[in-house]
Structure 1
């Protein structure tokens, strides 16, 4: 006699009881993350606690914190990042408003170009500015040809203002992209109602558009701030001699001076600032309901 199979309950797939727990599926990404990021980070922290004299000590931190070069680099990094973020927020908000709400030929092409711009490396934008405003750039060459003056008037790219201009130029699209996405979801009926009630464009932007764009503006600003704190290529390619940021200080300590414990100390400080800002952004955005 053949035995009859007992029918399985409805909704119970074969082998469902042998499914792996979700923690097992999360294990491979965690292992990869630990191998490519956490382990090198642990080595950096370990090296920062290992002075050249041997052993484990906080002396490298004391030496770095006591140096004027570190304090100047920290201040330069902070004010450049804050100023660049403020410039990107203002410029990005205005440009996103124009692209999203002011009809003009080629508006869609400009919006697509922003997506392409995000893939450009930072040093490429800096090189473009050097070709325009550098010592032998087009602006100085045109000035010399027109006026006949032997000296070049545009020398600001090798100053902190040149670094600030390059950072604002490069990072503004990182603010515009989330803003354009937020503007595309804005109900145009609100704008039409406000306009029919006699509200002027500035009032519409202040009371209708800006509240809807605040989460995207905060996200873009937070991203730009963290990226500016860790920017290396722009400062290096502008050739600004008097501008030393924390990433530049890591480079000079490790490559030029071969002082690896001091370089790791500066790197740990830079990482701590970036992670702290990210954590602060998450707390503030969560409390604001963004």
Structure 2
């Protein structure tokens, strides 16, 4: 039954009247549905065009050289493909010694950086003293220093002809000074702790800046001493930052080359220096590639462990 002439229907509301939902559906049907108001999606070919360049750059600059490295590690000198290069390297006493030295230096440096970095970050963040902000900013600048620069500074101070030994010989008249540890593993350990400690301090200072000081004030008002406040209030909040900084330092120490080279510690051989020795000094590229692959596997494995730990502690 048709409407009488002059009667307004739902599709054509009267001027000034509020349109109903069905009227809006009839007037603007394209605005209904899940994708209302969204711009049209780009075609798949256009999206692929923007994805291909970064993927191609990643393949050419990283994955392809890494694939060549792995391929060369399975290629003996006589040609072909074999796991014999890995067997030869694993049976080499020099490799086992370098692996052990690398692990204990990396672990020792990481523990030292965590302890020293935590103490220094506590002092900067919670002990008011003039210039605290300037010291915190210097930590940021320190991160940009090359590792060999710190090693050279230690050589100027504690080297065989450094300031400390020179002062000792001037005072005592001795032929040489007592500080001869820089050319030993302990000198490498000291240099790594000195250089990598700011990498732990930076995330700690960021975490301490987010800490609610009301908790510390409440604990102090209840009679808690400074060690207890640090142990029960500050340390739990700092665990994610400690995990992040410690994992970063551990991975970087495993791959550190410049510090070991510039300390002149000839009796200290790590995996990176062994790669250099095999490739440059002995021209044994297959063995060098095997050691490099082992170093990469250890680093990637530790990074995966870091991701698991950081996920559990909430980093």
Q: Same fold (TM over 0.5)?
A: yes
Change (3 A) 1:105 1:19: farther
Calculate the TM-score normalised by the size of structure 2: 0.87
1:226-278 superposed Cα distances (whole Å, 9 cap, x missing partner): 00000000000000011000000000000000000000000000000000011
Q: 1:223 aligns with which of 245, 248, 259?
A: 248
Larger radius of gyration: 2
Shift of residue 284, structure 1, vs aligned partner: 2.3
1:47 aligns with 2:94: no
Q: 1:9 offset after TM fit, Å?
A: 3.4
CA shift for structure 1 position 286: 2.0
For the residues of structure 2 that align with 1:8 and 1:65, how far apart are their CA atoms?
69
Q: Please list every run of 5 or more consecutive structure 1 residues that lacks an aligned counterpart in the other structure.
A: 1-5
What does 1:113-262 align with in structure 2 at a 5 Å threshold? 113-262=138-287
Match among 89, 99, 106 for residue 131 of structure 2: 106
Aligned residues: 284
Partner Cα separation in structure 1 for residue 120 and residue 274 of structure 2: 34
More moved, 32-41 vs 175-184: 32-41
CA shift digits 1:9-63 (9 cap, x unpaired): 385466x233557665443322211111111111110110111101111111010
Give the SS at the match of 1:156.
coil
Does 2:53 align with 1:28? Answer: yes
1:97 aligns with 2:122: yes
The answer to which of 44-53 and 16-25 deviates more is 16-25
Q: Measure the CA separation in 2 of the matches of 1:172 and 1:17.
A: 48
**Counterpart pick for 2:42 among 18, 22, 27:** 18
Alignment partners' CA distance in 1, 2:62 and 2:152: 31
- State the TM-score, normalized to the length of structure 1: 0.94
Alignment CA distance shift 1:58-1:205 (3 Å):
same
> Residue deviations 1:69-115, cap 9 Å, x none?
00000000000000000000000000000000000011000000000
> Which residue of structure 2 lines up, in the alignment, with residue 84 of structure 1?
109
Aligned mates of 2:41, 2:250 — CA distance in 1: 48
Structure 2 partner of 1:3? none
The aligned runs of 1:69-80 (5 Å cut-off) are 69-80=94-105
Q: CA RMSD in A?
A: 1.7
- Per the alignment, residue 84 of structure 2 pairs with 59
